[in-house]
Structure 1
Amino acid sequence: MASKKRKKKSKMRRILIFPSMVIIAVLIYKFIFIPEAWNLSEKSSYDKTVLVPFYDSVSIPSDSLQSTHAILIRLDDNTVMMEKKSEERIYPASLTKIMTAIVAIENLPDLKEEIKLTNSTFEGLYEANASMAGFQAHENVRAIDLLYGVMLPSGAECCIGLADEIAGSEQKFAEMMNQKAVDLGMNNTHFENTTGLHDEDHYTTVKDLAILLNHALENDTFREIFTSSRHTSQSTNKHPDGITFYSTMFKNLDTPNVMDGKILGGKTGYTDMAGLCLASLAKVGEEEYILITAGAKGDNRSEQFNISDALTVYNSLGE
């Protein structure tokens, strides 16, 4: 009888020990043989957003960021260094224009080609209080100047002009933008327009925008535009001296320098529903990083909390 009890206990121990060994083996494999597991962002029990580089750990208390959503990625190896509600839906406002620009660049055979803006190009834009680059109806503008107009002063008329030229209408161009989002794996994104004007069905996440910006920066033309602080367009039939554009980010940035580095470029965005947004690129030390933030309080006339958040994050990397 005692022998049977001992055998029964021994069998139970084996049953309990086996799953424990499996769990230990999985954990060993995950953290030793899959190094990426060390590079993902973590959240502490004190609700802090934690940066986790390979060798250092820099934490940023969540209440030090005005933005409600954020993601920081090291470009060299696509390591996510920080996340804050990165997969929750947001309204992208003018960060939409990153997609508008890269789709246009990839579908224009000649960036020096002149595109004629028409009366329909401007329909509804002034009424919607859309940001404009300064071009006029019946103006002939080079495609490359329209692209600078999209990204630096955030010109809505430039977006529509490119969309009409490439796809025949803004609606058809938005379909191209959505197909590009699918191709890139932006699984929580849908575009209704080229400008980022508010629409309930026009949404994304900061994680998807990071995927987009990462891709776009691989294009030399896009990178050149994205990192420019100013640009003067070529002479046109309406502006003989051209128009000089200034980056909305650099215009509100006292200095691009951060600790051990520099902010290289960026695109701002704002609507009442989206809050202040920013997609930026910086070099800190020997590494390049992209940071996407959204949902900061304020507006175009207030303190630019999207930019101050970028300074906070990039400076923390240089400490």
Structure 2
Amino acid sequence: MLITITAVLFLLAGCQDKNFTNEYDINSSDYAYNIINSSENLTVKPFASNICVVADNVSSDQVNSSLSEAAALFDVDSLEVLYANNATEKLYPASLTKVLTALIALEKGNLDDVITVSANSEIKESGAQLCGFKAGDQITLEQALHGLLMYSGNDAAVAIAEYISGSVEEFANLMNEKAKSLGATNSHFVNPHGLSDEDHYTTAYDLYLIFKEAIKYDKFLEIINTDSWTTTYTLSDGSSKDITFKTTNLYLKGDENAPDGITVIGGKTGTTNAAGSCLILLSQNESSKPYISVILKAENRSILYTQMTELLGEINN
């Protein structure tokens, strides 16, 4: 299933924050400050001029806030926060982490590059979702990204991290640098997959910032909008193996239904014992206006989708 999503690319805008108080040093080399310097003039672009910023909770009688620890819904085109509950609370993101991993990979990598999987990808943690890649296997970055975003493979995340930065540790440094540049300053990442670590956390709002950047890439949109994808990769002994990745997104699978008039383009799921059930989505209404919704720490998958459907219902209100 591949929905026409071209319109989403040029509808991405943001909410201007009147209370944004960060000061900007025009001599800073930090590109997060968006300083444009030329021989003729100097322009300082306000950092929050094209993003939503949540200052307080925004409630709704139609959304049960008790179903998760944090949730938010952003109308990216009309500059409104339609719903927000604990959107700036630091929580474990589980595999929603992989949105940032994919963003960096698309920014710095080449889809056709071949990655040789290392033994570090063979994660032994109980319950860890794995594509099944083994040391010596060869996969392209595009294949790794499908495994990362569709099937939520933690081994694909490690393979990408080592391809980009040489090690998980160096990639985590890059993740934190990228998050900071996007304004996601209440986040800290120590791995590319989101398996629980007390020093690995983010917020619903920071995830919005990261996701908003990721959906600027056509390939990211294509992958999160795909329900099934089959490919062939090379095993360590030189033989070939077919593998099919299926989405973990129940809206794309047809197991859950969005409210009438709302189309779910795609997103990312995440679940660990510490993080609970998590989900971030890109959706659009009948006029193809884009919306980003995110939920962190629902008790289980059923409750997660119940609240997400309630959130998406706010788009029509």
Matched residue, 1:248: 248
Counterpart amino acid of 2:77? D
Deviates more, 1:273-282 or 1:255-264: 255-264
Secondary structure of the corresponding residue to residue 249 of structure 2: helix
User: Alignment partner of 2:282: what SS?
Assistant: strand
Instruction: Please name the residue that 1:203 is paired with.
Output: 201
1:103 aligns with 2:109: no
Paired with 1:311 and 1:66, the residues of 2 have a C-alpha distance of 12
CA distance in 2, matches of 1:255, 1:274: 22
- CA-based RMSD of the aligned residues comes to 2.5
Mapped to 2, the partners of 1:115 and 1:243 lie a distance apart of 16
Residue 31 (structure 2) aligns with? none
Match of 1:291 in 2: 293
2:267 maps to what in 1?
266
Distance 1:179 1:316 in 2: 34
**Distance in 2 separating the partners of 1:104 and 1:139:** 19
**Alpha-carbon offset, residue 221 of structure 1:** 1.4
Q: 3-state SS of the aligned residue for 2:271?
A: strand
Distance (Å, rounded) in 2 between the aligned partners of 1:61 and 1:290: 16
Contact in 2 for aligned 1:274/1:294 (Cα 8 Å): yes
Helix, strand or coil for the counterpart of 1:263? strand
1:86/1:207 contact within 8 Å kept: yes
- Which consecutive residues of structure 2, in runs of 5 or more, have no partner in the other structure? 1-17, 20-49
Higher relative contact order structure (alpha carbons within 8 Å, sequence separation ≥ 6) = 2
What corresponds to 2:175 in structure 1? 177
Contact 1:134–1:243 (Cα < 8 Å) also in 2 = no
SS in 2 for 1:233: strand
SS in 2 for 1:248: coil
Q: Identity over aligned residues, as a percent?
A: 31
CA distance in 2 between counterparts of 1:231 and 1:217 reads 19
Distance in 2 (CA, whole Å) between partners of 1:280 and 1:135 is 27
Paired residue total: 264
The reply to whether residue 76 of structure 1 matches residue 86 of structure 2 is no
What is the CA distance between 1:315 and its match in structure 2? 2.5
1:147 is aligned to 145
Query: SS of the counterpart of 2:232?
Result: coil
Relative distance call for 1:316 and 1:182 in structure 2 (3 A) is: closer
Counterparts of 1:82 and 1:97, CA distance in 2: 24
Aligned to 1:86: 87
Counterparts of residues 24-173 of structure 1 (less than 5 Å): 49-50=59-60, 59-63=61-65, 66-108=67-109, 110-122=110-122, 125-173=123-171
What TM-score do the two structures reach when normalised by structure 1? 0.76
Matched residues in 1 for 2:59 and 2:166: separation? 44
Q: How many angstroms apart in 1 are the aligned matches of 2:313 and 2:62?
A: 11
1:126 to partner: Cα distance: 2.2
Residue by residue over 1:241-278, the C-alpha shift from the partner in whole angstroms, topping out at 9 and shown as x without a partner, is: 52110111137652454211211102111111111000
User: Structure 2 vs 1, CA of residues 183 and 42 (structure 1 numbering), >3 Å: closer, same or farther?
Assistant: closer
Q: Name whichever structure is richer in helix by fraction.
A: 1
Instruction: Output the TM-score relative to the length of structure 2.
Output: 0.77
Cα contact 2:121–2:133 (8 A) shared by 1: no
Alpha-carbon contact 1:49-1:62 (below 8 Å) kept: no
Q: Is the CA contact (8 Å cut-off) linking 1:104 and 1:162 kept in structure 2?
A: yes
Gaps of 5+ in 1: 1-28, 31-35, 51-58
Larger radius of gyration: 1
